[in-house]
Amino acid sequence: MYLCAFIIADTDMRIYVFNPDADLALADNRPTYVAPETVRQMSRDLALLPFWYAEEGSGIRVVSQDEAAFVKQMDECFRRNIVPVSSKEIHRLGKIKWMPWGWTPALRRSLMEEGIDEACLPPEEALAEWRKLASREQVSAWLDELGETGNMRAESVNLKDLPACRTYAEEHPAVVFKAPWSGSGKGLRWCRGNFTPDVEGWCARLLRKHGLVTAAPVYDKVEDFALEFYADGQGNSRFEGYSLFATTSGGAYAGNLLLSDEEVERRVEAYGLGEALRRVRARILEIAAKYTGSYQGYWGIDMMVCRDSDAKHYGLHPCVEVNLRMNMGVVAHKLYSRLLLPGSIGRLVIDYLPAPGAMYARHREDREHHPLRMEQGRVGEGYLALTPVTRQSHYRAALYVFTGK
């Protein structure tokens, strides 16, 4: 058995599941949705990532003795009190509160097919509500509510036909078109100048599928960061902290810096935006109930520091994306607070290598070149694989820690 002995309390036992296809599954919206093989590979390789953000005393789903051994090894090292639980053992637990990366109709159906009691799962009506609230269509409403709280009036528009898409592209020197649902920088199409046949065809496909494309001007971005929150399902949210992240030129997620909230605020203050940031944070908490509904769990708003046209002044874009699910910013924030030695900073990366065995080779090199140094159960410096890396791995979640001096 993988399961460590424990007593089940009257409250539900939390079981964490990593399903990185959540945004793709929301876009598809069918209970029968099956993710592409590359995403299924990510699900397998990074299945144990919840170990690092799960609440103490929770369970994490495992499918093999090797995965259970990894959880046990990490728990002995970092004292997280996380229990590995196999599918067979789940049915012996009684009350369960499922904690996925994100809720989707496909995940709900999958759990029910495994014999999970429907009473342990959100009703279909709730999933439909959360899907609507997770759409990029909501960004324009968020921006209307926030106004110029962040000292700049940012824009996002919802376009419902090709002439509107063409007109918007012609009215702006550079535009990014976005699918209503997609994750990690996917579902974006950049248009600089001409509304080319390629961009037109992309927009047409989305309009046929969803009846909607969102669009925004391309801003002169200098920093990506996010505000992270937790919603209690009763319309209340609390601020959890900041996350500072990087994206590629195409908008894809490229990793998080692990910094204190004070350091992120200091960096935003350096652009003269400290007061604007505090106003935005307060305003979000005032209006959050409208846009989180009955959702319970972590959620975040991606923001940007932007340079204006004269390149001398900066503005705070208060809502680029809304992630109504767990996200890497929350993971990074919890890694910093739970794992890093005071005075150290870190970098969280999710990387991919397609060649067989290449990720395992890189993992071995990183262990050799960046040896782990720990003090008092915390990481002071070095490399740590956050998920098991084997010869079959193509994805890896990794932490690089270095002194902040």
Based on the fold, state whether residues 240 and 139 are members of the same structural domain: yes
The arithmetic mean of pLDDT across residues 360-379, rounded, is: 96
Is residue 181 domain-shared with residue 148, that is, in the same domain? no
Instruction: Among 273, 305, 332, give the residue marking a domain's end.
Output: 332
Task: Determine the pLDDT at residue 4.
Answer: 36
User: Positive or negative CA dihedral for 199, 102, 150, 283?
Assistant: positive
Asked if residue 36 and residue 102 are part of one domain, the reply reads: yes
Same domain, 288 and 149: yes
Residues 81 and 115 in one domain: yes
User: Do the bridges between strand 174-178 and strand 213-217 make them parallel or antiparallel, or are there none, so unpaired?
Assistant: antiparallel
Within this chain, do residues 150 and 163 fall inside the same structural domain, yes or no? no
Question: Range of 30's domain?
Answer: 13-121
Same domain, 318 and 204: no
Which CATH number goes with the domain that contains 36? Answer: 3.40.50
Res 85: pLDDT: 94
In degrees rounded to 5, what are phi and psi of residue 363? Answer: -60, -45
User: Kindly report the CA angle at 31 between 18 and 104, in degrees rounded to 5?
Assistant: 40
What confidence tier does 404 reach under pLDDT thresholds 50, 70, 90?
low
Mean pLDDT value across residues 25-34: 96
**Mean pLDDT lowest for which of 175-179, 205-209, 253-257, 319-323?**
253-257
Domain count along the chain: 4
Last residue of a domain, one of 217, 232, 255: 217
pLDDT tens figures, 334-361: 999 999 999 999 999 999 999 999 999 9
pLDDT at 8 exceeding the cut of 60: no
Residue 246 and residue 392 in one domain:
no
pLDDT digits over 52-70, tens only?
999 999 999 999 999 999 9
Give the single-character DSSP code of 70: H
Same structural domain, 270 and 150: yes
* H or E, element range at 296: strand 296-307
Confidence band for 252, pLDDT divided at 50, 70 and 90: confident
- pLDDT tens for 269-318 read 999 999 999 999 999 999 999 999 999 999 999 999 999 877 678 999 99
Q: Residue 2 has what pLDDT? A: 35
Q: Which of 299, 332, 365 is the last residue of a domain?
A: 332
In a domain, 4, yes or no: no
CATH number at residue 176: 3.30.1490.20
Cβ atoms of residues 213 and 207 within 8 Å: yes
Task: Kindly state whether residue 8 falls inside one of the protein's structural domains.
Answer: no
For residues 149 and 253, state if they share a domain: yes
- Residue 94: its pLDDT value, please? 72
pLDDT category, 81, cuts 50, 70, 90? very high
pTM of this prediction exceeds 0.75: yes
Is the pLDDT reported for residue 257 higher than 50?
Answer: yes
Could you tell me if 194 and 98 lie in one domain?
no
Decide if 3 is inside a domain: no
Whether 251 and 325 map to the same domain: the answer is: yes
Residue 128 within a domain: no
- Distance from the Cα of residue 95 to its chain's centroid: 27
Query: Which CATH number covers residue 149?
Result: 3.30.470
pLDDT over 60 at 167, yes or no: yes
| pLDDT of 10 above 50 | no
**For residue 68, how many other CB atoms are within 10 A of its CB?**
21
